[in-house]
Structure 1
Amino acid sequence: MPGPLDGFRVVDLTTMVSGPLGSMILADQGADVVKVEMPRGGDHTRQVATRRNGYSASFLNNNRNKRSIALDLKTPDGLEAVKRLVREADVFLQNFRPGVTDRLGLGYEDLRAINPRLVYVSIAGFGFEGPFAGKPVFDPLIQSLSGLTTVQAGSDEDRPRLVRTILPDKLTGFAMSQAVCAALLARSRSGEGQHVRLSMLDTVLAFLWSSDMGGHTFVGDEMEKEAAQSWIDLIYETKDGYISVAVMRHKEWLGLAEAAERPEWTEDPRFQDSESLDRHKHARLELTQEVLRERTTAEWIDRLEAAGVPCAPVLTRREAIRHPQVQANGIVFENDHPAAGRLRQARNPAQFSATPNEHRFGAPALGGQTREILAEAGYSPAEIEALIEAGAAAEPKRAGPQGTGEDAA
């Protein structure tokens, strides 16, 4: 049984991580994603470090289940080929700076004239209008402008800190994939496509609002400065490592007092209900950290679980993927790539009982499917050869099975 998006075609001009991750989610769920890349170099993530046999881990982990066509968008024939792909497409994705696709003749109105049913998706960094809209963008800039770095710091008084993963990029990828599915559902009712726009900045602010913007929710009662929140301090040292202990409610504080053999904590007037636990969180956290240094992580896990206190060991990445719970979930799987060899990756987190995701093939070579995609768009063998000869299209220097080969000629 194919995935839930089987039969939908996506023309994907995005690069880096936000767009490619989002389109890989669609590809994992069965969509035919045609990745359009420039002939020389292709997606920038092809060139980054941590590589094997010409493939970077970043490219492999954001581009599986896609086919690649190499087209030079600086040539009229390359642009025409994209437009021919769009005629039969359901979705078009792009993350150029605002205005670039309009100048190329690939803007929403241009492609809507070709295919009124097209769901056209634009991803921006800072936004589509305003003083930062035209600026180049990278993940740390979004973390900084959105306030995420001060959330990570813990308070407005502490030094801002980056989240040590490209959270804005990846959140935007997930948000985009959901938006595409919503737009396709709307099209199934109206028969018309539409333009979907989202920015990394908007995505992060929306993400923060559900838990980190309480002090700015009540109009007229906004906080001037944010104080540290308890959940940033829930990693504690033990005798032999680290542990996370989440005491959010009063009953969990009583359980911690029992596990720690500190009955006096239950009588402490500072900790008599959930509100007072929050009001005196700094004292509570100091007491917690002091006692947790007395035993090993394993000892604390046993004691805390017996007392009903939520807890978990703090693992390295290597330890995490080998943990029994992670293995039971089956989120990490291995597969063979024809050029990069044996890979370990994470499957799509959503599991469908009737239309399961399928790993069809690994990330493609640059232009690995140029000829077959052009043929599907109606080009004759002679026309395809002429496009390649003229440099408007390209294929791998060394031909091979799908997903193999090196940089396009």
Structure 2
Amino acid sequence: MTGPLDGIRIIDLTAMISGPLATMMLADQGAEVIKVENPAGGDFTRSAANRQGDMSALYLNNNRNKKSVALNLKEPEGREALLKLVATADVFVQNFRPGVIERMGLGEEDLRKVAPDLIMVSISGFGDSGPYAQRPVYDPLIQGLSGLATVQAGSDGRRPQLVRTILPDKLTGVTAAQAITAALFARERTGEAQHVRLSMLDAIIAFLWSSDMGSQTFVHADLPQQEAASFQDLIYETTTGYITIAVQNDREWQALIRAVSRPEWAEDPRFKTAELRQQNIDARLELIQSVIRTESAEHWLAVLEKEQVPCAPVLTRTQMLNHPQVQANELLVNYDHPNAGTVRQTRGPARFSRSAKQQYQGAPALGQHTRALLKDCDYSDKEIEAMITSGAASDPGH
């Protein structure tokens, strides 16, 4: 496919979410991504629930526009085949625990012998060194260690809560994709290739710092406990559902007062300034909720929009699909997958004015492109058949 990364070849040894999401983003932007999987089942997400036609939604939603080669990297023939693929590549991405890729004989020194200009990318859970480096990692562990679960709770003194989506995994994927493009750009300018290292823990702590680490920003002797701005969400109940209202500045506060017909709020000393409104946020939100619950969502959205108060309906995931703004953005695309049938996904969120409209190819079957890509590396049909027979490689026909 064409796109801003057309001509870039990426060898992808990642599994689960963070790495596959990163490389799918790059595949959506035109890179040729070759996903290398173990013949014995491949990426674990292939076996996840919610599946159709022997394809799981989780695998489909993180691996489209890729090619799959099934190689047993424990076998010398499998490693040799991988190195031949690496010799043709620009980027190599893996998310094994620190040290594993070196023990496989596929560390940076080994790869640069066949591809001196290769950009190598290593994604870890906790980091390359330190007391947690060799521990198994899953998203909740990062949410806990990074402080995210406490941020989600609203205060250091309240019971921590997990964000109900795998934010560390997905944010690490987005961060990795950006870092890979930066490394490609740097290589284009300087001719030098780099090894990009990224941990889920680092990605989340850096993400939190921009808005949630104010008490930790100024260096002094004692760090205050992070108090909650409010224990109430900006979600308001109406007679027909829920809406959200977000009011920041004086103009928006006065517009809200007009919309709800409560002129006395303008004279309330607790709400005279933005600072006072923040200090008295619980009282302010309780007042707003007491009014909003008296009418329908449709009524309030119309009144609030007329006064230009920032607001929106709170939708379920299924309701979101048909919202006029989502439809206007042409974000959702349907296409036919040879195994899973008709699939609905989002397009890549960034649109490029000088690139052709994105075309989508569904996530590949395990080893779907093994034969074709090994042939491109000058393997004969006989040699490929021997590798498949020995278990060093596989394709869907075996």
TM-score by length of 2: 0.98
Match of 1:67 in 2: 67
Match of 2:284 in 1: 284
Secondary structure, aligned partner of 1:62: coil
Amino acid at match of 2:156: D
Secondary structure, aligned partner of 2:121: strand
Query: Which deviations, in whole Å up to 9, do the C-alpha atoms of 1:191-217 show, x marking residues without a partner?
Result: 221100001111111111111111111
Secondary structure, aligned partner of 2:143: helix
Match of 2:3 in 1: 3
Q: Does 1:217 align with 2:217?
A: yes
Q: Does 1:329 align with 2:329?
A: yes
Amino acid at match of 1:296: S
Assess, with a 3 A threshold, how the Cα gap between structure 1 residues 7 and 222 changes in structure 2: closer, same or farther: farther
Amino acid at match of 1:89: A
Match of 2:354 in 1: 354
Match of 2:95 in 1: 95
Amino acid at match of 1:347: R
Query: In structure 2, what is the Cα distance between the partners aligned to 1:161 and 1:180?
Result: 32
Amino acid at match of 2:142: I
Query: In structure 2, what is the Cα distance between the partners aligned to 1:271 and 1:369?
Result: 64
Query: Which deviations, in whole Å up to 9, do the C-alpha atoms of 1:230-263 show, x marking residues without a partner?
Result: 5962111112211100011222221111111111
Is this contact kept in 2: 1:371–1:395, CA < 8 A?
A: yes
Match of 1:137 in 2: 137
Assess, with a 3 A threshold, how the Cα gap between structure 1 residues 206 and 275 changes in structure 2: closer, same or farther: same
Query: In structure 1, what is the Cα distance between the partners aligned to 2:356 and 2:223?
Result: 47
Query: In structure 1, what is the Cα distance between the partners aligned to 2:377 and 2:280?
Result: 66
Deviation at 1:323, TM superposition (A): 0.2
Is this contact kept in 2: 1:73–1:79, CA < 8 A?
A: yes
Is this contact kept in 1: 2:335–2:360, CA < 8 A?
A: no
Is this contact kept in 1: 2:119–2:183, CA < 8 A?
A: yes
Secondary structure, aligned partner of 1:41: coil
Deviation at 1:359, TM superposition (A): 2.3
What percent of counterpart residues are identical? 59
Query: Which deviations, in whole Å up to 9, do the C-alpha atoms of 1:147-191 show, x marking residues without a partner?
Result: 111111111122111111111111111111111110001111222
Assess, with a 3 A threshold, how the Cα gap between structure 1 residues 230 and 330 changes in structure 2: closer, same or farther: farther
Assess, with a 3 A threshold, how the Cα gap between structure 1 residues 232 and 151 changes in structure 2: closer, same or farther: farther
**Any stretches of 5+ residues in structure 1 without a counterpart?**
398-408
Amino acid at match of 2:392: A
Match of 2:116 in 1: 116
Deviation at 1:223, TM superposition (A): 4.0
Query: Which deviations, in whole Å up to 9, do the C-alpha atoms of 1:69-127 show, x marking residues without a partner?
Result: 00001111111111111111000000000000000111112112221110000000111
Match of 1:57 in 2: 57
**Aligned alpha-carbon RMSD (Å):** 1.3
Which structure 2 residues correspond to residues 356-395 of structure 1 after superposition, within 5 A? 356=356, 358-395=358-395
Match of 1:314 in 2: 314
Match of 2:239 in 1: 239
Secondary structure, aligned partner of 2:336: strand
Secondary structure, aligned partner of 1:133: coil
* Larger CA deviation: 229-238 vs 3-12: 229-238
Is this contact kept in 2: 1:4–1:355, CA < 8 A?
A: yes
Deviation at 1:355, TM superposition (A): 1.4
Q: Which runs of 4+ in 1 moved over 4 A?
A: none
Deviation at 1:377, TM superposition (A): 1.6
Query: In structure 2, what is the Cα distance between the partners aligned to 1:100 and 1:21?
Result: 21
Match of 2:168 in 1: 168
Is this contact kept in 2: 1:118–1:193, CA < 8 A?
A: yes
Deviation at 1:357, TM superposition (A): 5.3
Residues paired across the two proteins, number: 398
Deviation at 1:395, TM superposition (A): 0.5
Assess, with a 3 A threshold, how the Cα gap between structure 1 residues 90 and 396 changes in structure 2: closer, same or farther: same
Secondary structure, aligned partner of 2:371: helix
Assess, with a 3 A threshold, how the Cα gap between structure 1 residues 331 and 360 changes in structure 2: closer, same or farther: closer
Secondary structure, aligned partner of 2:61: helix
TM-score by length of 1: 0.95
* Larger CA deviation: 267-276 vs 150-159: 150-159
Deviation at 1:229, TM superposition (A): 2.3
Match of 1:39 in 2: 39
Q: Does 1:148 align with 2:148?
A: yes
